[in-house]
């Protein structure tokens, strides 16, 4: 049976996706995240329900040392046969960080560190261990597109400049709003997905790199740092009605989770590399992401700057530019 490693697979959209991968696609799973008590409990429930192999991996995407440790452990799982046939990597963990500006252990702004740099490093460390038909799926967001209601509502993206984003608010400069930090992190996610696709093709690899937008799903824990009344309001039917009327992409935990699983494992998406899929109103479609997300120069700069920020060593680089 193939194996999928999913970050943030114990909650929200990731958990629904994990259930689908286990039940429909019959994938073994590696659940990776920082909340081990919850992850182990979820792993036990999934094992019992679906009779598949599930391993767990401690991984805090905001910490470079945690990502390196997790990658070492995962490679050991492959070497010992605890995990076989690594076919899917789902970079799904992420957060919206309201409240005061904060920085990761490595000194980088928390949104960019959590949503972008951790997954970037994980991909560099693990892609070489993936099978030829492997897929890497990035959970992005419609908020990355300033020409859509999603982008306008959450915060118009800033320049996807990794060094500036990692150092947001430093040196007395005015920081971006939490909304802009989030939407820009999702633009960077899509730029990574497309740049990875180009690199893989140039390297002669058939691994797919795919971007996915689950649509707005207020029932998850994503808004947990927002004030309680805002969290409550976001989950009401009234808010759903309004956001639908103004054209915000509509997801649901079940449909968005199932869509993520489809993109990662369904044979119909085998040739979907370099594309962007969106779940909206119960339909999963192949759609265009924002104009900026197709900018190859910006993507290349983001990639190279991210390499510098994660202090990537030459022997760690999976996705060589040839």
Ligand X SMILES: NC(=O)c1ccc[n+]([C@@H]2O[C@H](COP(=O)([O-])OP(=O)(O)OC[C@H]3O[C@@H](n4cnc5c(N)ncnc54)[C@H](OP(=O)(O)O)[C@@H]3O)[C@@H](O)[C@H]2O)c1
- In the complex, the residues that contact ligand X under the rule CB under 6 A are 7-8, 10-14, 33-35, 38, 59-62, 92-95, 114, 139, 141, 214, 216-217, 220-222
Q: Considering beta carbons, is residue 217 or 284 the nearer one to ligand X?
A: 217
Q: Considering beta carbons, is residue 10 or 205 the nearer one to ligand X?
A: 10
Return the ∠ at Cα 85 (arms to 84 and 87), rounded to 5°.
Answer: 135
**What b-and-e string marks burial along 52-81, b requiring 16 or more CB atoms within 10 Å of the CB?**
bbbbbbebbbbbbebbbebbebbbebbeee
Least distance (Å) between residue 264 CB and ligand X: 13
Q: Which residue is nearest to ligand X (CB)?
A: 12
Q: How far is CA 175 from CA 112, 130, 230, 250, in A?
A: 13, 38, 22, 29
Q: Considering beta carbons, is residue 14 or 134 the nearer one to ligand X?
A: 14
Least distance (Å) between residue 189 CB and ligand X: 8
**Rounded CA separation 110/249 (Å):** 26
Q: Considering beta carbons, is residue 181 or 298 the nearer one to ligand X?
A: 181
Least distance (Å) between residue 208 CB and ligand X: 19
Least distance (Å) between residue 34 CB and ligand X: 4
SS3 content of the chain, % helix, strand, coil (to 5): 50, 15, 35
Q: Considering beta carbons, is residue 95 or 134 the nearer one to ligand X?
A: 95
Least distance (Å) between residue 296 CB and ligand X: 24
């Amino acid at each position: 049976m193939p194996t999928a490693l999913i970050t943030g697979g114990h909650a929200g959209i990731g958990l629904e996706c994990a259930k689908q991968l286990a039940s429909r696609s019959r994938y073994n799973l590696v659940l990776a995240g920082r909340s081990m008590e919850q992850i182990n409990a979820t792993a036990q429930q999934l094992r019992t329900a679906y009779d598949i192999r599930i391993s767990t991996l401690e991984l805090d995407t905001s910490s470079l040392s945690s990502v390196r440790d997790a990658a070492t452990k995962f490679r050991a799982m492959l070497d010992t046969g605890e995990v076989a046939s690594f076919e899917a990597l789902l970079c799904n963990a992420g957060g919206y960080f309201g409240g005061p500006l904060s920085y990761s252990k490595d000194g980088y702004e928390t949104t960019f560190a959590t949503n972008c740099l951790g997954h970037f490093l994980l991909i560099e460390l693990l892609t070489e261990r993936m099978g030829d038909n492997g897929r890497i799926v990035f959970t992005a967001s419609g908020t990355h597109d300033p020409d859509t209601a999603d982008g306008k509502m959450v915060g118009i993206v800033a320049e996807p400049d990794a060094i500036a984003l990692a150092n947001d608010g430093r040196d007395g400069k005015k920081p971006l709003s939490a909304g802009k930090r989030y939407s820009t992190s999702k633009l960077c996610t899509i730029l990574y997905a497309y740049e990875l696709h180009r690199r893989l093709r140039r390297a002669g690899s058939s691994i797919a790199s795919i971007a996915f937008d689950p649509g707005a799903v207020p029932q998850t824990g994503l808004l947990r740092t927002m004030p309680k009344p805002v969290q409550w309001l976001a989950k009401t039917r009234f808010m759903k009605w309004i956001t639908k009327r103004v054209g915000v992409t509509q997801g649901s935990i079940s449909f968005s989770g199932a869509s993520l699983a489809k993109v990662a494992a369904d044979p119909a998406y085998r040739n979907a590399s370099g594309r962007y899929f969106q779940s909206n109103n119960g339909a999963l479609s192949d759609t265009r992401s924002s104009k900026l997300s197709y900018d190859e120069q910006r993507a290349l700069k983001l990639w190279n700057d991210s390499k510098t920020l994660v202090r990537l060593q030459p022997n760690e680089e999976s996705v060589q530019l040839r």
